[in-house]
Structure 1
Amino acid sequence: MIEYLKTTRELLQSFQEAKVVHVSRGQNKKADALSKLASVAFDHLAKEVKVETLRHPSISTKVVVGVEVPEFNWMTPILRYLQEGVVPADRQEARRLKIKALQYEIINGALYRRSYLGPSLKCIDYEEAEYVIREIHEGRCGMHMGAKMVAA
């Protein structure tokens, strides 16, 4: 509704003179009947009232959200090695990375850790991890799970 209000205000600016009057439901029987249709089944009214369901909004809105992707995190060296074969200059670090990378695989551009007994585990960065933990503790279900359940 905010987008419709914004569009209406923009359109009003294009007129030399305009007046918007609020009509209460009590004085506007048609609008009152339409508002009640949304909360009740209207199959029995199909012959008396023409109802059209809009599949898409009548105004087009473009939502732009800025996303900051951290350039370097704990997964970056592993991803660079698996995708491009890039290793650190230090021989010991390069050897450690090659051994560690054996535990990981790339699926659809995302890094996963191989699991022996279960499915591959998706690797996430610190911000995503904080979000996941927050959702588990405070999310839709609103339950606080114990350490064993969170680990599971």
Structure 2
Amino acid sequence: MIEYFKTTRELLQSFKEAKVVHFSRGQNKKADALSKLASIAYDHLAKGVKVETIKQPSISEEVVESVEAPEFRWMTPILRYLQEGVVPEDKQEARRLKIKAL
């Protein structure tokens, strides 16, 4: 969605005046109905309903965002236990860790 938003902002600069408003699905029944069409079979639709399936995104630019994870995360003790067999000295904590690791 971010790439579509960026493309939209670039296109908006070519207009004298424009306004972009985001509506949730609950506020836009037609868009909600269209989004549900993508997950159903088309055989039962009346012949007057035309459905176009887009096989590729309209934005071809692939974007990869880098994320730096902190050195210690909630799963670090579990990974250390599974990979190296390291458990806390406290027996209760060690027991909890082994249960989480399952």
Q: Which TM-score applies when normalising by structure 1?
A: 0.35
Task: Tell me which protein shows more strand as a share of its residues.
Answer: 1
Greater radius of gyration (CA): 1
